[in-house]
A = this chain, B = another copy of it.
């Protein structure tokens, strides 16, 4: 079954979340059930790059990965869009495991897929109020319950923070799922600038502010607060 792919690149580092710093290849799938106001990959769902979507068999994806990365990688990250929409992604997961790859995947957790349990590093990133999206907590509860029971790898929650409402949302998330590791990530609110130095200073100030708020919290004790390292290194550039 063919998979809609917009980008394959790497190896590079994973710049964020539970395996931050990990040497990895990236596969970016097209299509999303959300349309977050601050999405940094709008091209995956806004139609602007519809003509660039490649429909690829798992074997073809593997060929593209090895063409880019040679034999210099052991980890593949599947991102989107929302790759959790693709019921038949299990075939790619199976193939990558046959090739001895570890697999990370990121999804907002709006839809369950049985193959989630085979993802080595699964990030659920429900979207906070600033996104303009609504979290279906009933569905998220179900997904997290199934992962608690069956997951073969590890999974975590990640919430991007742009403002205090988002932080309140993260607090609720932490109280709802206290046993699930929670990553708070500084939101990038300047996706347009090509002035990397300006962006870096701005993002570091935002990071420090978020740290200050979390350090004051009596509820957010067992959390991790992280930036997007790729933004520090390469600004808003794509494909790095």
Q: Which residues of B contact A233 (CB under 8 A)?
A: 204, 207-208, 211
Tier of interface size on chain A: 35 or more
Given A215-B11, A232-B204, A233-B207, CB of A221 within 8 Å of CB of B20: no
Interface centre among A70, A102, A225, A227 (most CB of B within 10 A): A225
Q: Which residues of B contact A35 (CB under 8 A)?
A: none
Copy tally for this chain in the complex stands at 2
Contact of A21 among B13, B73, B225 (CB under 8 A): B225
Task: Name the CB-closest residue of B to A232.
Answer: B204
A74 located at the interface, meaning its Cβ lies under 8 Å from any Cβ of chain B in the complex:
yes
Task: Name the CB-closest residue of B to A201.
Answer: B197
A2 located at the interface, meaning its Cβ lies under 8 Å from any Cβ of chain B in the complex:
no
Contact A218 B183 (CB under 8 A): no
Contact A225 B13 (CB under 8 A): yes
Chain A residues proximal to chain B, CB less than 8 Å: 10-13, 19-23, 70-75, 102, 183, 200, 204, 207-208, 211, 214-218, 220-227, 229, 232-233
Query: With A11-B215, A20-B224, A23-B222 given, can you name 9 additional A-B contacts, CB distance below 8 Å?
Result: A19-B224, A20-B226, A21-B224, A22-B224, A75-B221, A75-B222, A200-B204, A207-B233, A211-B233
